[in-house]
Structure 1
Amino acid sequence: MAPAHLRHPPQAPPTFTATPQSVVADAERLLNTSRTIQDKLVGDIKPDDATFANVLRPLAQDENVMALEAHILGFYQAVSTDQKLRDASSKAEELMDEFFIEAVMREDVFKLVDAALNKNEDLDPESRRLLEKAHKDFVRNGLGLPAGPQRARFKEIKKRLSQLSIEFQKNLNEENGGIWFTPEELDGVPEDVTSGLKRGEGENAGKLWLTFKYPDLFPTMKYAKNSDVRKQVMVANENKCNQNVPLFREAIVLRDEAARLLGYPNHAAFRIEDKMAKTPETVDTFLGDLRARLTDGGKQEIQTLMKLKKELDPNSDDRYYLWDHRYYDRLMLERDFQLDHQLIAEYFPLQTTIQGMLKIFEELFGLEFVEIVGEDRAALAPTGQADDIVWHEDVQVFSVWNDEGEGSGFVGYLYLDLFPREGKYGHAANFNLQPGFIDAEGNRRFPATALVCNFTKPGPKKPSLLKHDEVVTLFHELGHGIHDLVSRTTYSRFHGTSTVRDFVEAPSQMLENWCWTPSQLRSLSRHYSTLSPEYLAGWQEAQQARSGGKTATAPPSERIPDDVIANLIRTKHVNDALFQLRQLHFGIFDMTVHEPKSHAEIEALPISATYNRLRQEITQMDGMEALSGGQEWGHGEATFGHLIGGYDAGYYGYLSSQVYSTDMFYTVFKDDPMNKAAGRRYRYQVLEKGGSQDEMKTLTEFLGREPQTTAFYKELGLA
């Protein structure tokens, strides 16, 4: 049990007791309060009297208080098991989005903000940044346009884009498709996957229901021996959300129209202007340079993989298909590098891996994580009901503290929601539930942040086991969570991961390097058979089945063996050109649809065909178009939530952030990843700042110089 002083946080955790009715009513109450504050400002203050203190501070304080409830009201749609509550959450988000659009297009409020900016008062840097950003928000939302038809049209577009975004993500969250296969068709797929699949009845008796959720999809693409099965799954997955196809097209066309109304040549120019890259030309040059450097490597990798395919399947044709890649990539790693992903996963049971990761963060950043369980949950819940401080029984919650060396104070709350369920957000992401800020009385409000992931559920004979790429994903998302927790900004607008999009991934990407460090991999590992007698018996049973009934060998080592780690690390960049080219496909497609030469061009663009054509050209892997399926065979853009959910004309940020993250790691951590002084410096110079200062300033201060691409290209073997 945690020491007494760590069992009583000074701030209660949020509660999750909403009903479908209360979610919408709470949203309306928040919006009415905000509207009243704005109306009062306009009624009480003349532009001549406008200052930061009497205009911006009340607006910022309202934004702070609103965020304590607003984030959670919109969060239910990603995690609730209640369809009606998810629908109400979507409705609440729509109401809030409409209000924010209205608020940022209020000319009367803008006049006050404009007057306050022109006063040129002496402000602290974060307040100055708030004032400038708020002013720019009004201009970028149409108040630079003359009042009349153009401004009205712009507002109409903004509202419609909000509706499209909510509907698109809702369709993805609600997606529950799949395919019935016989056990024979799924030959090769690991038993811990097939044993968890729904069994068919009636006409599907004897068959298994394979969904498109990650714990089903990825192992099937990696292990299913039948290439036709892999093809079916790939094609069906690309077409699992085709109701989003017209929504995507409408959003792309409307974004272009809105950007042109504001005087920009296209949506990319509008979006990138206030990012680190500043112009689409900078992005196109970066992506083009990377593509040129990677293309030959991709061709060589495909040649090697094709050779393996021909050896194992002499009757196959001479093409390397999209549905071949995960399968032959895995076989090559097993054959040429003796890398067994299933064996590695045995050393990474989910719960012990999480404990190990939290321990790394404790050591590096001076933190303590205390899981809140049993009677402590009820004691902390404002309602007195333990279940009220989580949204589902699977959810774990931790209070987070500074250790003694960092002053022992409270930091915030961390939630982990790790297993798939119907209606839940289908990828891995970090959600801010409540931001941190300084309240109107000058006291600190502490943040709450949630990791929402989809790992395989534990069974009676085996816990949830993480493949190495899932270990990396979990560490990455926890990195976002830590960024959210340790940030200390005055205003919620700049809290944590609220940075520009082409920097936001860098802190988490940098932390992924710990998952490729021998000492850290060893410390994270613990073979699942050592966790309980039941798991040991389950492991022995699995070994007997694998060896044809022979008695199981001696139990495995508790920690992952050094030779297995060495093999894993040797494979870090195997087939990496193809991996990076896949990322480039996403980034270049994103830029292609967001920087057309004319509005007529985007209206006429065949979006799905463009997505598939670019993928074939960039990754050099064939899809159904090679089997005369035409370029419209799949609609991958309809499953691409990033481009509707905030990464529009910004997906390149995953690649450009890698430049920054690799530079930071090589410069500061590579020689000694657990250096506490470096960890504390990273916490306070980078993570704590959030978006409260220019991100290039943050980077330059941490590195002691301007960032460089050298380490990035060296890491990829392209220097």
Structure 2
Amino acid sequence: MAPLPQALLRVPTKGNLIPVRKAQIAKRQAILQHIIDTVDVDQASFETVYEPVLRYDDMVSDHVDMIAMLRYGSQDAEVQAEVVECSKLWSEHNVWVDSQEQLIRLKLAAGGKTDGLDPESKRLLMRRTEWLRHMGYGDIEAETKTAFLSTRKQISKLCEEFNRNIRLYDGGHLLFSDAELKGLKEGVIEAYEKDQVGKRRVPMRQADYIRIMREATILTTRKTFHEAWAARLPENVAIFREVILLRDENARRMGYKSDADFNLFSRMAKSTEWVEDLLTDLGNKLIGPGKVLFKEMEDLKRRLMEEKSEAVDVGSDTAVQPWERLYLATLLERERRIDQKVISAYFPFKETSAAILGNISSYLQLRLEPVAKEDLEGCIWSHDVDVWAVWDEGEEENGQFVGYFYADLLDRENKYKHNQTVELQASYLREDGTRPLPAGILMCCFSPEVVDGCKVLKHENIITMYHELGHALQVLLSRTKWSTYHGYNVALEFGEGIGTAMENYAWLKEELQSISCHYAYTDDAYMQSWQKNNPDKPLPPRTLPDGLIEDLVNDRKTRRIESYLKQLSDAGFDMAVHNPKSHADLEKLDETKIYHDLKEMYMFIRPTVPSYPQADFSHLMSGYNSGYYSYICSNIFGEEIYQSNFAADPTSKTAWKRFRRELLQYGGSRDQTELLEEFLGRPPTTAALLKSLGIE
């Protein structure tokens, strides 16, 4: 058995996480204390104040990343609890760091000494100095600083309360008879418990809400559930209002025009005016096409009214109601012949995921070599995790080891219920000039349907895989001096733009045909089962047929326009509450009404009253305040990257090499606005996005 090119990281055992993290934090604190005790202000520099702790952070980054990953990937709830405790220890350490006034003075003194630094270290020093001043340190009055920091803590506590209310929300259940649940599958109905009079207890959970809205035939069932769902979490309304007022007050205290202006520091946008203009311009271009699509829904409702359907309110006008929207959208999908079950049959989990990895590695001239299971003992957190050693096969780097790629794709108990890429090992430059090579995890939460014994993926899973592979490539292919800038440690708009660019591959005819294979052809047992269950039908095509691909692609434009309009309503609300003209204007603002107005403007349906859409908008209480527009920007940037570099020849090795060398390899070590403009040869615009939607 050939030796591994680099030792695999080992998974810490239960009971060891907290002692290891305590030791790391104690060592880091000792390094910082030594700097405080031995460095005078006039001696402060990048080398004396920053470099010692950066070197230590680099050295332990793999252990830190592994511990953090277990919060998402471990099957053991006790291990996850240990990780949470480790996070608390780190937070306590940061509180200690923030309280060290001499350390802050040293950092600020070092901030002006950039001569002789390499570009990445210079960027790091300048950004951290800017951040300190931004967060209330530096040359400001003591009273102002105290008020700013105190208000920031108050905001943090309120945000924790807001998100805790969402996390712990238990709306109980609603009672429906089997007849009232008409339209749901029999097995789904049977899974709901009965009460003493025979009615089904349907939990007030998001998954059940969406199921009822999409599938329940009876209008009153959907209306009852929707009205209860829309009015949940009223206690968060007052918390939300208090937070936005405090944020605005704090931003103005520091000399900024608004919270949005204050938060531009960490974004690619250069002004709040740019953001407002972008949202207005894109909205003006999308509302018209959106209304055309919405008219299809109104026409469908009109037909159902004429048929006296129990699914719509035949006594009302043709205005689509909030509890009708998802149901009508589902019917329109069927009319457009988008049968997701038929499509899923062409995406057997094992074969399709392997084909996607094979294609992307081929385009990049990389080779994935599976790591033997015996080499993985003690190095993976679940038996269904696969690992590959990644090697370069390009002319310049032929035979060089790139890093390790992990795939953890299936749902399991206690696993994080979303999809993400996780950095397990950053690459950085050691003092001796060597570097550890990176490791990244494609961590998804797929629950494939089993058909004739074969696990099959939905097309939405395919989109997710390509998107997250974009982030995985950021981890594998970036090469930075410091671990803090490695991989996807970039501005949100830029990082998500990489993933969005990659999503286009999930819609290309040739790509879909190359990664698809009807499950019946992958195993003799599956073929026998298929023939037994379909005795009078001819064998299905081996790969996804042209007609199904065309239906998918045509439906994509519709879905994207609707999705962008929803994002515009949410981003518009974010800016409305975080970028008022004055504090007095914000005090007068009725945030519930403004959100309802925006929903009506962009989605063409007035929300019901009472309803509080801001009450569960957790993004705005979790660090994305004044930044929700970034999701729209990421789509703009992603389309620019794809159209300018890949559209002419999606498999071009030259295009993929350029993608790697000019975007991915820098991580966050360069200004991403400059990087993107260099790549495009101009500033990005909305033209590529609108073109992809068929809008001139």
Confirm whether residue 282 of structure 1 aligns to residue 280 of structure 2.
no
Confirm whether residue 90 of structure 1 aligns to residue 84 of structure 2.
yes
- Would the alpha carbon gap of residues 292 and 139 (structure 1) be closer, same or farther in structure 2, given more than 3 Å must change? same
Equivalent AA in structure 1 for residue 6 of structure 2: P
- Would the alpha carbon gap of residues 503 and 555 (structure 1) be closer, same or farther in structure 2, given more than 3 Å must change? same
Aligned to 2:504: 513
The answer on whether the counterparts of 1:145 and 1:151 sit within 8 Å (CA) in structure 2 is: no
Aligned to 1:349: 348
Residue 602 of structure 2 is aligned with which of 606, 609, 618?
618
Query: Identity across aligned pairs (percent)?
Result: 30
Aligned to 2:368: 369
- Would the alpha carbon gap of residues 29 and 607 (structure 1) be closer, same or farther in structure 2, given more than 3 Å must change? farther
Secondary structure of 1:655's partner? helix
Quote how far apart the aligned CAs of 1:621 are: 2.1
The answer on whether the counterparts of 2:480 and 2:667 sit within 8 Å (CA) in structure 1 is: yes
The answer on whether the counterparts of 1:213 and 1:426 sit within 8 Å (CA) in structure 2 is: no
Equivalent AA in structure 1 for residue 683 of structure 2: E
Q: Deviations over 1:526-573 (max 9, x none)?
A: 2223333554455457x66xxxxxx34123122101121122222221
Secondary structure of 2:542's partner? coil
Secondary structure of 2:691's partner? helix
- Would the alpha carbon gap of residues 197 and 211 (structure 1) be closer, same or farther in structure 2, given more than 3 Å must change? farther
The answer on whether the counterparts of 1:248 and 1:638 sit within 8 Å (CA) in structure 2 is: yes
Quote how far apart the aligned CAs of 1:693 are: 0.5
Secondary structure of 2:544's partner? coil
Aligned to 1:327: 327
Quote how far apart the aligned CAs of 1:657 are: 2.1
Q: What TM-score do you get using the length of structure 2 for normalisation?
A: 0.88
Aligned to 2:32: 38
Confirm whether residue 52 of structure 1 aligns to residue 24 of structure 2.
no
RMSD: 3.4
- Would the alpha carbon gap of residues 168 and 393 (structure 1) be closer, same or farther in structure 2, given more than 3 Å must change? farther
Aligned to 1:295: 287
Confirm whether residue 681 of structure 1 aligns to residue 641 of structure 2.
no
Confirm whether residue 401 of structure 1 aligns to residue 397 of structure 2.
no
Secondary structure of 2:391's partner? strand
Quote how far apart the aligned CAs of 1:476 are: 1.0
Aligned to 2:142: 148
The answer on whether the counterparts of 2:571 and 2:629 sit within 8 Å (CA) in structure 1 is: yes
Secondary structure of 2:112's partner? helix
CA distance in 2 between counterparts of 1:172 and 1:613 reads 24
Residue 23 of structure 2 is aligned with which of 22, 25, 29?
29
Higher mean C-alpha displacement, 524-533 vs 226-235: 226-235
Aligned to 1:703: 680
Aligned to 2:13: 17
The answer on whether the counterparts of 2:178 and 2:189 sit within 8 Å (CA) in structure 1 is: no
Aligned to 1:655: 632
- Would the alpha carbon gap of residues 98 and 127 (structure 1) be closer, same or farther in structure 2, given more than 3 Å must change? same
The answer on whether the counterparts of 2:410 and 2:446 sit within 8 Å (CA) in structure 1 is: yes
Higher mean C-alpha displacement, 147-156 vs 522-531: 147-156
CA distance in 1 between counterparts of 2:564 and 2:400 reads 42
Q: Deviations over 1:309-354 (max 9, x none)?
A: 221343433222344334333432432x433222112212333332
CA distance in 1 between counterparts of 2:601 and 2:455 reads 38
The answer on whether the counterparts of 1:199 and 1:205 sit within 8 Å (CA) in structure 2 is: no
CA distance in 1 between counterparts of 2:367 and 2:172 reads 42
Quote how far apart the aligned CAs of 1:125 are: 1.1
Equivalent AA in structure 1 for residue 556 of structure 2: K
Quote how far apart the aligned CAs of 1:282 are: 0.7
- Would the alpha carbon gap of residues 657 and 18 (structure 1) be closer, same or farther in structure 2, given more than 3 Å must change? same
Aligned to 1:442: 433
CA distance in 1 between counterparts of 2:251 and 2:564 reads 30
Quote how far apart the aligned CAs of 1:703 are: 2.2
- Would the alpha carbon gap of residues 218 and 511 (structure 1) be closer, same or farther in structure 2, given more than 3 Å must change? farther
Secondary structure of 2:441's partner? strand
Confirm whether residue 530 of structure 1 aligns to residue 521 of structure 2.
yes
Equivalent AA in structure 1 for residue 7 of structure 2: Q
- Would the alpha carbon gap of residues 568 and 229 (structure 1) be closer, same or farther in structure 2, given more than 3 Å must change? same
CA distance in 2 between counterparts of 1:410 and 1:114 reads 40
The answer on whether the counterparts of 2:321 and 2:605 sit within 8 Å (CA) in structure 1 is: yes
CA distance in 2 between counterparts of 1:455 and 1:67 reads 28
- Would the alpha carbon gap of residues 243 and 275 (structure 1) be closer, same or farther in structure 2, given more than 3 Å must change? same
Quote how far apart the aligned CAs of 1:709 are: 2.9
Higher mean C-alpha displacement, 679-688 vs 93-102: 93-102
CA distance in 2 between counterparts of 1:664 and 1:440 reads 35
Residue 670 of structure 2 is aligned with which of 693, 696, 717?
693
Equivalent AA in structure 2 for residue 578 of structure 1: E
Higher mean C-alpha displacement, 343-352 vs 419-428: 419-428
- Would the alpha carbon gap of residues 711 and 85 (structure 1) be closer, same or farther in structure 2, given more than 3 Å must change? same
The answer on whether the counterparts of 1:461 and 1:538 sit within 8 Å (CA) in structure 2 is: yes
Q: What TM-score do you get using the length of structure 1 for normalisation?
A: 0.85
The answer on whether the counterparts of 2:574 and 2:620 sit within 8 Å (CA) in structure 1 is: yes
Aligned to 1:200: 193
The answer on whether the counterparts of 1:78 and 1:173 sit within 8 Å (CA) in structure 2 is: no
Aligned to 1:489: 480
Gaps of 5+ in 1: 382-387, 545-550
Aligned to 1:385: none
Quote how far apart the aligned CAs of 1:672 are: 0.6
Gaps of 5+ in 2: none
Aligned to 2:380: 389
Confirm whether residue 556 of structure 1 aligns to residue 540 of structure 2.
yes
The answer on whether the counterparts of 1:320 and 1:622 sit within 8 Å (CA) in structure 2 is: no
- Would the alpha carbon gap of residues 430 and 586 (structure 1) be closer, same or farther in structure 2, given more than 3 Å must change? farther
Higher mean C-alpha displacement, 160-169 vs 132-141: 160-169
Aligned to 1:591: 575
CA distance in 2 between counterparts of 1:326 and 1:14 reads 46
- Would the alpha carbon gap of residues 476 and 212 (structure 1) be closer, same or farther in structure 2, given more than 3 Å must change? farther
CA distance in 1 between counterparts of 2:155 and 2:644 reads 42
Higher mean C-alpha displacement, 427-436 vs 456-465: 456-465
Quote how far apart the aligned CAs of 1:377 are: 1.3
